[in-house]
């Protein structure tokens, strides 16, 4: 997919996020918008996957685990736009009986979801287990996992990091949404931050730092991670520098939109800044 098409797709995904969260009256737009470009690149250019033959066990395909489960809106949008389920489902987010639970669930059988998430810090472990299974089974595909930077405060992340290095999981590629914001404020002010690159390196991971809103940088980072993983048999972490709420001026760069739905007026103001490229759901 060309960079221009990826940009157009991302604009539509951001519209989806705003419209879904506004309709639901709650949800997490901020992080969804900071990771929109990353997940758009992942689902439309990077991963070897096929919604038609997808199964939860991931055999014969690349797999994705969303560790930061509150990024459900962007996840649901890229899944629907990839063809995993009808676009109309997006309008049901967080409603009673919906397949689109507030945080991703596998209980209702929503196609494309490999594992539930919401309680933070657990996705690296699950992704490492999936990657280890691929290694044991001789499946050359990769496993991708996305974490928030605030989420890295969870201790289990680092248990998973150590495990993945020890078991030589060169087929595991992590992504950190390095937007610098979490619920209570900036990551630096709350209880985290520091040199994330050195932290991951200390646990034996290859690291790449990239602009998470520049598609050519994003694609380049994934290419490097794939090559490094194969070369070193070590997992790789791409630290994507992003802005929370990216794409809408009044939502960008602040923690205030981490978990808040726009009002009807704010929704219209936001949509005015995002081109409708593929048709709203």
Positions in the binding site for other proteins (CB under 8 A): 56-59, 105-107, 114-119, 121-134, 136-137, 155-156, 159-160, 162-163, 166-167
Q: What is the CB-side half-sphere exposure of residue 174 using CA atoms within 13 A?
A: 38
Question: Which lies closer to other proteins via its Cβ, residue 119 or residue 268?
Answer: 119
Q: How far is the CB of 163 from other proteins (least distance, A)?
A: 5
CB of 66 within 8 A of CB of 31?
A: no
Q: How far is the CB of 4 from other proteins (least distance, A)?
A: 36
Secondary structure of residue 65 in the 3-state scheme? strand
CB of 224 within 8 A of CB of 168?
A: no
Question: Which lies closer to other proteins via its Cβ, residue 58 or residue 150?
Answer: 58
Q: How far is the CB of 139 from other proteins (least distance, A)?
A: 9
Q: Which residue has the tokens 């494309």?
A: 112
Question: Which lies closer to other proteins via its Cβ, residue 42 or residue 130?
Answer: 130
Secondary structure of residue 17 in the 3-state scheme? helix
Q: Which residue has the tokens 């380049």?
A: 220
Q: Which residue has the tokens 């290419």?
A: 223
d(CA 149, CA 204): 18
Question: Which lies closer to other proteins via its Cβ, residue 160 or residue 193?
Answer: 160
Question: Which lies closer to other proteins via its Cβ, residue 12 or residue 61?
Answer: 61
Q: What are the angstrom distances between the C-alpha of 38 and each of 9, 34, 43, 233?
A: 12, 8, 9, 24
CB of 70 within 8 A of CB of 100?
A: no
Q: How far is the CB of 245 from other proteins (least distance, A)?
A: 27
Q: How far is the CB of 133 from other proteins (least distance, A)?
A: 3
């Amino acid at each position: 997919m060309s960079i221009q098409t990826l940009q157009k797709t991302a604009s539509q995904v951001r519209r989806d996020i705003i419209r879904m969260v506004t309709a639901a009256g709650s949800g997490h737009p901020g992080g969804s918008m900071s990771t929109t470009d990353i997940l758009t690149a992942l689902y439309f250019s990077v991963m070897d996957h096929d919604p038609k033959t997808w199964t939860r066990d991931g055999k014969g395909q690349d797999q994705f685990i969303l560790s930061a489960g509150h990024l459900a809106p962007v996840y649901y949008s890229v899944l629907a736009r990839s063809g995993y389920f009808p676009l109309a489902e997006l309008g049901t987010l967080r409603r009673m009986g919906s397949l689109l639970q507030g945080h991703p669930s596998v209980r209702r059988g929503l196609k494309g979801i490999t594992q539930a998430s919401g309680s933070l810090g657990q996705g690296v472990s699950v992704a490492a287990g999936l990657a280890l299974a691929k290694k044991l089974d001789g499946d050359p595909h990769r496993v991708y996992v996305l974490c928030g930077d605030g989420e890295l405060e969870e201790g289990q992340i680092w248990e998973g990091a150590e495990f993945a290095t020890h078991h030589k999981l060169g087929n595991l590629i992590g992504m950190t949404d390095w937007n610098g914001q979490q619920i209570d404020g900036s990551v630096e002010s709350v209880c985290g931050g520091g040199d994330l690159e050195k932290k991951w390196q200390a646990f034996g991971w290859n690291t790449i730092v990239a602009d998470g809103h520049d598609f050519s940088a994003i694609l380049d980072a994934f290419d490097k991670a794939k090559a490094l993983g194969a070369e070193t048999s070590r997992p790789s972490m791409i630290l994507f520098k992003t802005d929370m709420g990216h794409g809408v001026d009044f939502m960008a760069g602040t923690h205030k939109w981490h978990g808040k739905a726009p009002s009807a007026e704010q929704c219209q103001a936001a949509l005015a800044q995002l081109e409708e490229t593929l048709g709203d759901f």
